Amino acid sequence: MPGDLYYGDNLDVMRSKIASESVDLIYLDPPFNSDKTYHLILKESKSQERAFFDTWNWDDTAERAYAELTGHAPPGIRVPGRLSDLVRTLKDFLGSEQRDTMAYLAMMAIRLVEMHRVLRRTGSLYLHCDPTASHYLKLILDSIFGHDCFRNEIIWRYRRWPTKARRFQRMHDVLLFYTAGKDNEHVFETLYGYEKLADSTLKTFGTKKQKADFSSGHRKPSVESGETKGPPLSDFWEVEDVHANGAPLSDAWEVGVIAPIGKERTGYPTQKPEKLLERVVRASSRPGDVVLDPFCGCGTAIVVAEKESRVWIGIDVAIRAIDVVKDRLDKTFPGKRVWTEYGEPSDVGTALHLAETNAYDFQWWAVHKLGGRPPKGERKKGSDGGIDGEMTLRDFDSEKRRRVIISVKGQRNLTPDFVKALETTVDREKADYGVLVTMHEPSPSMRNVARDCGLVPWASAHDGKMGHRIRIIAVAEILAGTFQLPGRNEACRPDPERGPPDRRRVSSEDVGHSVRW
């Protein structure tokens, strides 16, 4: 069964799409409140572009989350009283100096309430964070799950090149492991063989007799717990088992980060190693169980869940994350479509919504939907020099390549000046063609100006046809697949439902005309 991949804010998706008590395992690796902007490194061009922000401000969204947490939740959303008290206290404690941290915590708390709702009673949640906010997040989790449901603080220890600092090197992340229930009914598979016990330890505890002595009082009692003798013998693993299988995995995990040129690397920032997720998925779910990653990034948890035969749901608010996930899944599981996508614009209405709410994501989406890629070099808002995307087309019957410049306009009020501006860019860049993608139907005068920009040979030697040098394509045409590219776009991911791009249906506008595109 294909997994569900949602583009959108996980709060909306969880509230509207995920039923209560329907998920077995949640792994979340949210932004850590690092005050950084993260960039995706594009493999082919080695250029960068913004993936997501991890900067928080006390704005309307934070205010709304805080209001929902403190008595103004929408109907049907239950916020535990302890959590309301805690967030009020945290807001006082953090004061005006750390309002941005409070904005981050409010964003997390309201989402963790939803995660608790969707988790089955036998389910588990792993919150991946770092010491920046782990202490506050643990309080929030205690107030939602109950402190009896806290199972482990897992330390993920990694090695990286040291940085100059007047403190110890920071080389670990934290995974807070909670279960939905406190009665030990949660799914848990003990993992062996990941760690070795030191020979000296095995020697010390190497016989049953020694273990029995150890249990019945030889061990120094723990002063903090008020113990007068060691735990009962039944609490220890059999020495023979430990010898045969390796020690049961502890809560300090040494897993290497992904190498800069590692096969696994996607270029998405903050990507986690599959080996780390393998432990989480194998320990706390079984084949067929539902795994949710509400901050899925480039989809590490999803890929591992698919490999381990789990059903999965992934959500991300960054459209480029969703694109990377789809590519990664297609490459990891060639020949089968293991994902179903929701939330990306699928019709004119949803495309318009994206254009009106997130101009930057709209540009990205339109460029990709057309079959293009972002321009080379880092793309900053407002500094793209009129280029929102590019495409390279190969002639159908020769090796000749042609460069296409793409410009995207989501706004309603367009004039022929936009067409002229694109023509100037195409000239300046010495490109072959220009495509102006418009959300709204272009006016007849815009189409006339585009026609006046001249003709170039159609990228196929067999019929000697000519095409318009500047072409306007409306989003409706892209969605309907009624546009035709004058060459083979090899970079374009084939859409199994629609067939390869060069076999797309030709629009009524194209049929019967000797001049196309």
Ligand X SMILES: C[S@@+](CC[C@H](N)C(=O)[O-])C[C@H]1O[C@@H](n2cnc3c(N)ncnc32)[C@H](O)[C@@H]1O
| CB of 39 closer than 8 Å to CB of 378 | yes
- Minimal distance in Å, beta carbon 429 to ligand X? 31
Residue 272 vs 488, nearer CB to ligand X: 272
- Minimal distance in Å, beta carbon 224 to ligand X? 35
Residue 61 vs 210, nearer CB to ligand X: 61
Binding site for ligand X (CB under 6 A): 9-10, 29-31, 52, 268, 270-272, 295, 297-298, 300, 315-318, 321
Q: CB-based burial of residue 320 (10 Å sphere; 0-12 exposed, 13-18 middle, 19+ buried)?
A: buried
Residue 128 vs 488, nearer CB to ligand X: 128
Residue 184 vs 357, nearer CB to ligand X: 357
Give the integer Cα–Cα distance in Å for 123 and 19: 14
Give the integer Cα–Cα distance in Å for 245 and 21: 34
- Minimal distance in Å, beta carbon 48 to ligand X? 15
Backbone angles phi, psi at 151, to 5 degrees: -110, -45
- Tokens representing 44? 């082919």
Alpha-carbon 153 to chain mean position: 23
- Minimal distance in Å, beta carbon 218 to ligand X? 45
- Tokens representing 34? 């690092």
- Minimal distance in Å, beta carbon 231 to ligand X? 36
Helix (H, G, I), strand (E, B) or coil at 65: helix
3-state SS track over 346-399: CCHHHHHHHHHHCHHHHHHHHHHHHCCECCCCCECCCCCCCCCEEEEEECCCCC
- Minimal distance in Å, beta carbon 105 to ligand X? 14
Place of tokens 């791009």: 501
Q: CB-based burial of residue 516 (10 Å sphere; 0-12 exposed, 13-18 middle, 19+ buried)?
A: middle
- Minimal distance in Å, beta carbon 6 to ligand X? 8
Residue nearest to ligand X (CB): 297
Alpha-carbon 110 to chain mean position: 19
Residue 361 vs 388, nearer CB to ligand X: 361
- Minimal distance in Å, beta carbon 54 to ligand X? 8
| CB of 492 closer than 8 Å to CB of 371 | yes
Helix (H, G, I), strand (E, B) or coil at 107: helix
- Minimal distance in Å, beta carbon 172 to ligand X? 16
Residue 305 vs 475, nearer CB to ligand X: 305
Residue 50 vs 151, nearer CB to ligand X: 50
Long-range contacts formed by 274-277: CB under 8 A, 24+ apart: 274/300, 274/303, 274/304, 276/156, 276/300, 277/27, 277/301, 277/304
Q: How many CA atoms lie within 13 A of 83 on its CB side?
A: 30
Residue 276 vs 405, nearer CB to ligand X: 276
Residue 269 vs 487, nearer CB to ligand X: 269
- Minimal distance in Å, beta carbon 310 to ligand X? 16
Place of tokens 């100037």: 424
Residue 29 vs 278, nearer CB to ligand X: 29
Give the integer Cα–Cα distance in Å for 365 and 373: 10
Residue 295 vs 418, nearer CB to ligand X: 295
- Minimal distance in Å, beta carbon 320 to ligand X? 9
Torsion over CA: 417, 419, 423, 425 (sign): positive
